[in-house]
């Protein structure tokens, strides 16, 4: 068996640059929001009260709901960076890899092609590997194996993106649950005080309860934005990969021995 070619799996592309610009813009917006949040969150002080800022509210409202939202924010940022870096055409369908696989298929170097597919973790290579496992069987069996592999690869790409949709929809719900819990505690304390609580103390309690909703929205907005922007991109990449793989799968030898005509 001859040594398979070395296949690069990363090249620069316009999609990569566009993802980098979007990611940088999101980071700048986040920094601007966090930088301006203390000034925006200042409450007009009463004569005998101190100015309440975001960090004070964060410390005062720190509970299990806040912990869940902070963990969700860390996870969502990790997923966003992973999606922006991994789900790009330059990594899912690198042109250099596709050209090498196409050359090996048309030259009918099946052993080298299998080695190349095994060493490459790309969309087309995985589909071709499934088709090569059925080499020598009927054309229908080869196509069925390739279609199943294409479905699995497409689902794998969308599963990575679907995490953002789940987090984006759960974030506001967790924040709302924290707000409701905080309001229950605030009004329970008011009832125990016999209704003698001042407007200042009551407003601070409500502000701390609503802070959970704010955290939930800050978690949901970037997740749903990234999900909405990247879903059509992933769909386009998967459709293009399936089209390329379908062309190459027809060259895999079947029991009838027929091969497609060579086209330039």
Q: Does the residue 22 lie in any domain?
A: no
Better-predicted residue by pLDDT, 120 or 192: 120
* Residue of 79, 28, 94, 84 lying closest to 230 (CA atoms): 84
Mean of per-residue pLDDT scores for the chain: 78
- Report the distance separating Cα 14 and Cα 95, nearest Å: 13
Q: Does the residue 220 lie in any domain?
A: yes
pLDDT tens string 108-148: 899 999 999 999 889 999 999 999 999 888 889 999 999 99
Q: Does the residue 42 lie in any domain?
A: no
pLDDT tens string 5-25: 444 443 334 444 444 444 444
Q: Does the residue 17 lie in any domain?
A: no
Q: Does the residue 101 lie in any domain?
A: yes
pLDDT band at 199 (very low <50, low <70, confident <90, very high): low
Better-predicted residue by pLDDT, 249 or 48: 249
3-state helix, strand, coil in the chain (%, to 5): 75, 0, 25
Domain housing 105: 51-249
Q: For 187-211, what is the mean pLDDT?
A: 72
- Report the distance separating Cα 121 and Cα 117, nearest Å: 8
Structure tokens at 120: 């490459």
pLDDT tens string 226-256: 999 999 999 999 999 999 999 999 898 887 6
What per-residue confidence (pLDDT) applies to 195?
60
What per-residue confidence (pLDDT) applies to 54?
66
- Report the distance separating Cα 33 and Cα 143, nearest Å: 52
Residues 105 and 220 sit within 8 Å (Cβ to Cβ): no
Question: How many domains is the chain partitioned into structurally?
Answer: 1
What per-residue confidence (pLDDT) applies to 135?
87
Q: Does the residue 31 lie in any domain?
A: no
Question: Is residue 103 predicted with pLDDT exceeding 50?
Answer: yes
- Report the distance separating Cα 150 and Cα 127, nearest Å: 6
Q: Does the residue 235 lie in any domain?
A: yes
Structure tokens at 261: 């005509």
* The model scores a pTM over 0.75: no
- Report the distance separating Cα 2 and Cα 122, nearest Å: 22
- Report the distance separating Cα 219 and Cα 77, nearest Å: 9
pLDDT band at 34 (very low <50, low <70, confident <90, very high): very low
Q: For 30-54, what is the mean pLDDT?
A: 42
Question: Is residue 194 predicted with pLDDT exceeding 90?
Answer: no
Identify the sign of the CA torsion 151, 87, 83, 236: negative
pLDDT tens string 68-87: 999 999 999 999 999 888 88
Q: Does the residue 43 lie in any domain?
A: no
- Distance between terminal CA atoms of the chain? 28
């Amino acid at each position: 068996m001859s040594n398979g070619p070395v296949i690069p799996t990363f090249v620069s592309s316009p999609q990569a640059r566009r993802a980098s610009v979007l990611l940088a813009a999101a980071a700048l917006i986040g920094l601007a929001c966090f930088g301006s949040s203390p000034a925006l969150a200042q409450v007009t002080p009463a004569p005998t009260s101190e100015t309440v800022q975001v960090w004070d509210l964060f410390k005062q409202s720190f509970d299990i709901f806040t912990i869940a939202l902070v963990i969700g924010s860390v996870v969502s940022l990790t997923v966003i960076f992973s999606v922006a870096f991994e789900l790009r055409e330059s990594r899912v369908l690198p042109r250099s890899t596709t050209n090498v696989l196409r050359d090996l298929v048309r030259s009918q170097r099946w052993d080298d092609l299998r080695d190349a597919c095994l060493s490459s973790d790309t969309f087309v290579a995985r589909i071709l590997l499934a088709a090569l496992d059925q080499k020598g069987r009927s054309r229908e069996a080869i196509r069925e194996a390739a279609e199943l592999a294409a479905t699995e690869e497409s689902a794998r790409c969308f599963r990575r993106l679907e995490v953002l949709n789940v987090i984006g929809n759960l974030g506001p719900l967790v924040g709302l649950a924290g707000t409701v819990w905080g309001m229950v505690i605030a009004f329970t304390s008011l009832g125990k005080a016999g209704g003698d609580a001042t407007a200042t103390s009551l407003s601070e309690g409500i502000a701390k309860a609503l802070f959970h909703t704010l955290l939930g929205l800050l978690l949901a907005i970037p997740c749903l934005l990234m999900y909405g922007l990247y879903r059509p991109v992933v769909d386009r990449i998967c459709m293009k990969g399936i089209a390329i793989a379908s062309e190459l799968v027809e060259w895999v030898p079947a029991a009838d021995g027929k091969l497609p005509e060579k086209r330039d």
